[in-house]
Amino acid sequence: MVGRARGVGAAVVSFVLLVVLWELAKLLLPDEGVLVGDTRVLPRTDEAAMPHVWTVFGRLFEPEVAGAADPRTVGAAVASGALFTLGLALGGLVLGGVLGMLLALAMQRFGLLERAALPYVVASQTVPLIAIAPLVAGWGGKIAIMGWSWQPWASVMVIASYLAFFPVAVGMLRGLNAPAKADVELFRTLAAGWWTTLVRLRLPASVPFLIPAARLAAAAAVVGAIVAEISTGTRGGIGRLIIEYQQSATGDPSRLYTAILGAAVLGLVAAGAVGLLDVGLRRYRGSVR
């Protein structure tokens, strides 16, 4: 419990530090930024580039559209967008996580598959997401599964999973191969088959590798979901809000920052979800030898 309290304390302190740094930069640096010759080495710090922290927070409580019949605040819009995107990111995380684990299991089981598939797994991550997103949306638009026609949000989830599966597959494969040769031989002398060795040795041994991989995957799924929303033009999520608020950034720069703030909180919540997994698997955490 002390560790937990300390963790929360550290998070609060780092947030306060960030705010202080931001405001200090605004206070001490000139509005035009710092120029060396014609090169700007530090950014502009005027209201348009770096609004005050309180302006950003204040914007959260103002209506999104002035004088509209439905006075929804910016904060409510950001929260609902973030929640929508969180659902898609977590969906992508679960989908990608399961696929990544299955792929790792298959690669561990069949060494030939590992040598054959691993280069493609790595290559899959070097293809730019913005190139893949329209493709997925395009394919998706052409299929209907058992009467259910493809929805744009499903494309977003698939794209998020495309980023999330990679760290899980690589981390899990490493974890499955983590047991020492002596441990594997012990199971062999016990006449344990592949399945028993997997369940009693390889899976428990993979947990310390899986947890950090899942953390990376959660962050990747959030980024993937936001970028996918933007590049497929999916409505309802934080990605869309970022685009919308960006268009009004010249007039109201702090609005864009509220959306960015929402995206950051979203990432923290997704990482926190992985933290729950960590707590559940605590017993296996210290098993790296």
H helical segments located in the chain: 2-28, 53-59, 74-109, 111-124, 129-140, 152-176, 181-189, 194-197, 203-232, 238-247, 253-280
Chosen residue from 187, 209, 245, 257 binding other proteins by CB under 8 A: 187
Burial of 10 (0-12, 13-18, 19+ CB in 10 A): exposed
Q: What angle do CA 134, 260, 19 make, to 5 degrees?
A: 155
Binding of other proteins at residue 4 (CB under 8 A)? no
Give Cβ neighbours of residue 15 (< 8 Å, ≥ 6 apart).
Answer: none
Chosen residue from 63, 204, 212, 275 binding other proteins by CB under 8 A: 204
Binding of other proteins at residue 209 (CB under 8 A)? no
- 51-70 residues near other proteins, rule: CB under 8 A: none
Which residues in 148-160 are b (16+ Cβ under 10 Å) and which e?
A: eebebbbbbbbbb
Chosen residue from 46, 183, 244, 252 binding other proteins by CB under 8 A: 183
Chosen residue from 190, 235, 247, 264 binding other proteins by CB under 8 A: 190
Maximum separation of any 2 CA atoms in the chain, in Å: 77
Binding of other proteins at residue 131 (CB under 8 A)? no
Residue type, 196: T
d(CA 61, CA 55): 10
Residue type, 160: A
Inter-residue contact 246 to 256 (CB < 8 Å): yes
Binding of other proteins at residue 196 (CB under 8 A)? yes
Binding mask 225-264 for other proteins (x = CB under 8 A): ----------------------------------------
What residue has token string 């929805």?
151
Chosen residue from 32, 200, 233, 268 binding other proteins by CB under 8 A: 200
Chosen residue from 1, 182, 276, 279 binding other proteins by CB under 8 A: 182
Stretch that binds other proteins, among 33-41, 103-111, 199-207, 215-223 (CB under 8 A): 199-207
Shortest distance (Å) from residue 124 CB to other proteins: 32
Stretch that binds other proteins, among 10-18, 90-98, 176-184, 228-236 (CB under 8 A): 176-184
Inter-residue contact 81 to 244 (CB < 8 Å): no
Residue (66 or 279) nearer to other proteins, CB: 279
Binding of other proteins at residue 284 (CB under 8 A)? yes
Residues near other proteins (CB under 8 A): 180, 182-183, 185-192, 196, 200-201, 204, 207, 283-284, 286-287, 289
